Structures are given as C-alpha cells and as structure tokens.
Amino acid sequence: MVWALVISVAVHLSAWGIYEGGEKLGVWRAWRAPAWLQKLAQLLTPPKVESVFVKKEAEPPLVFIDVSDAVAMPEPPKNAMGYSDKNSVAANPDSNKDTNLPKIDGTQDKVPRTETAERKPFDRLMPTAPPEVDQPKEEERAKPANPAGDLNFSKPDTQLRPDTGTAERTKPRTLTEARLRNPASQIPGEKMKQDAGAKQRGVAPSFDVKATGFGAYDRAFITAVSQRWFDLLEARNYAGYQPGKVVVEFRLNYDGRITEMKTVENTVTDTLAYLCQKSVLDPAPFEKWPMEMRRMIGEDSRKITFTFYYN
C-alpha cells in the first residue's frame, strides 16, 4: 500500500512537471492536436445557447394629455411628449417661433392643457359599463307611443347596424366611449400658460401627443378619479386655503383593483393627502383591461403616478 501511494504521487508530480515545463517552453502552443482529436473535442464541448428573448428597452414615461377632436391627427408625431386616446401634433394658430411646444395663454403652469374644461353633470363617468335600462311593462308596450294622425312620427329603426370599419373613425362600442369622444366632455381643468410657439399652424394650440392602446382606458380612469376628487373637496367646502401638491403612487391591476397605494410627496395637510388617496380608492374596482391592452402592456399591473395640485 505504501509503495502504491509513493508511485501514484510520483506519477502525478511527473505529469505536472512535464506540463509546466512545456508551458514555459511554449511546446504546447506550437504543438497541434490531430484532426480526429479536434473533432472529438468539438463533439464533447456543449453548444453555446443564446437566449431568443431580447429585453425590450423601456420607453420614457409619458404624461397623459387630453386631446380634443378639433386637433386630432391621423398620424402620431415623431417625438411625442405625451400620450392619449388620439394623436396630435404641436401647432399654433399664429406661428412665430420654431419650437415643438405651443404658445398658450392660460392661467396655470403645472398641467399641460390647451383649453379650459368646466365640470358638467355628465362628467360623472366611471370606466364601467352603464346600467341596463328597465324594460317597460306589458301594459305600457300595448299603448301606442303617439296618437294616430297626419303629424305622427315614424317608428325609428332599432336594428343595430354593424360597423364595417371603413368609416374614417369607427363607432363607439359603449356609452362611456361615446361620451368621451364628445369634445364637450373633456377632463375638467384650466388652460395652462406657456410662452413658446410651434412652427406648424393649426386651428388651436396642440402638443405632440401619440395615441396608445390604453389611452381611452386611462382617459376614463382619470375622469373618474378627477370627478371623485372634486366631489370630496366640495363636501369639505374647500376654497383653496392651502396651496400645494400631493403625489401618490399605486398599482392598477388588470382586474381593476388598486393596490400598493402610498403618498410619495405631500406639501399640504395629511387630510388633503388622504382625500387624494380616497379619490382613487373610492371608484375602484375599475373596469377590467381589454385583452388588447393587457397583451400590449405585457404585465398584470401598471405603476401609476398621480399628482394632485391644490391652488
């Protein structure tokens, strides 16, 4: 046993010495293995597998900007500063500068808005389907809608006409979508003040905004949150006694739930900050994401940042 151990150690030391000597003298670099040995080495070497998934670079976050039908464009701009449910290109009625920002003569400088939109009763929108109307009773159905006579109105056509998609703009699929397309139903807010000037002429000031697959959903979502915020302020008789802002972050899940709500910045009172969170949580759960929107986002939730300004 002792001789076997001595011989094994001697063989290993000899092999190691030969390898080190050949490495120092450059023998191994000059020596070329036979072709059959090279092929054998290639067969024994595992192939290099490259990932077929390419990590998509995240686009810079864009701000939602409300776009009216008056300035909507069919093609998106090259460098958009915001997103919406419609495209628009930076323009001014009177072009006197060469910039990509429009000149706007409003009153506030925090939220990008090209016109003032007042609150209206039908602004109480939710991203959910409208309630179904109760069907009339049998007695009411039997009664004629109008008395017989020469001035009797003809019966309206109640048959739904399919949307072939050949029109310049497809028909709205829901009542909420139809209301949101109405220029008078824009999200409430004041027109901003901005000293600039876009080189392109337009009927009204507009920003570089591109339409996205979730622009219509976000528009209804923002409308619902804004309406709830105004309602909460009216209940407290808020009259602008403490200016400042509140920034909240949360997760909007694909099923309409709000999770991970937190306040990341607050320059007003805790009570006013609580009203901001409450304006998001009260209307929840919102409508589920459409399948196209969920496929486009690629995740089951989105991180949303809301900024509330108290003037």
Classify residue 204 as exposed, middle or buried by CB count within 10 Å of its CB (0-12, 13-18, 19+): middle
In a domain, 256, yes or no: yes
Q: What pLDDT score was predicted for residue 208? A: 94
The tokens for 305 are 């940042």
**Phi, psi dihedrals of residue 173, rounded to the nearest 5°:** -90, -20
CA distances from 76 to 32, 71, 88, 144 (A): 62, 12, 7, 51
In a domain, 182, yes or no: yes
Q: Count structural domains, the chain.
A: 1
In a domain, 153, yes or no: no
pLDDT digits (tens, 9 = 90+) for 297-306: 889 999 999 9
Q: What pLDDT score was predicted for residue 202? A: 84
3-state secondary structure of 214: coil
**Phi, psi dihedrals of residue 128, rounded to the nearest 5°:** -125, 160
CA distances from 186 to 24, 106, 160, 178, 192 (A): 80, 17, 28, 12, 15
In a domain, 88, yes or no: yes
Instruction: Kindly state the average pLDDT of the residues 187-202.
Output: 84
Q: Most confidently modeled of 60-64, 114-118, 137-141, 273-277?
A: 273-277
- The boundaries of the domain holding residue 302 are 63-129+175-310
**Does the structure show a pLDDT above 90 at 89?**
yes
In a domain, 89, yes or no: yes
In a domain, 158, yes or no: no
In a domain, 167, yes or no: no
Confidence of residue 278 (pLDDT cuts 50, 70, 90): very high
CB contact at 8 A, 116 and 192: no
CB contact at 8 A, 245 and 267: yes
pTM metric for this prediction: 0.60
What b/e sequence results for 10-41 when a residue is b if at least 16 CB atoms lie within 10 Å of its CB, and e otherwise? Answer: eeeeeeeeeeeeeeeeeeeeeeeeeeeeeeee
Confidence of residue 134 (pLDDT cuts 50, 70, 90): low
pLDDT digits (tens, 9 = 90+) for 230-251: 999 988 887 767 889 999 999 9
In a domain, 214, yes or no: yes
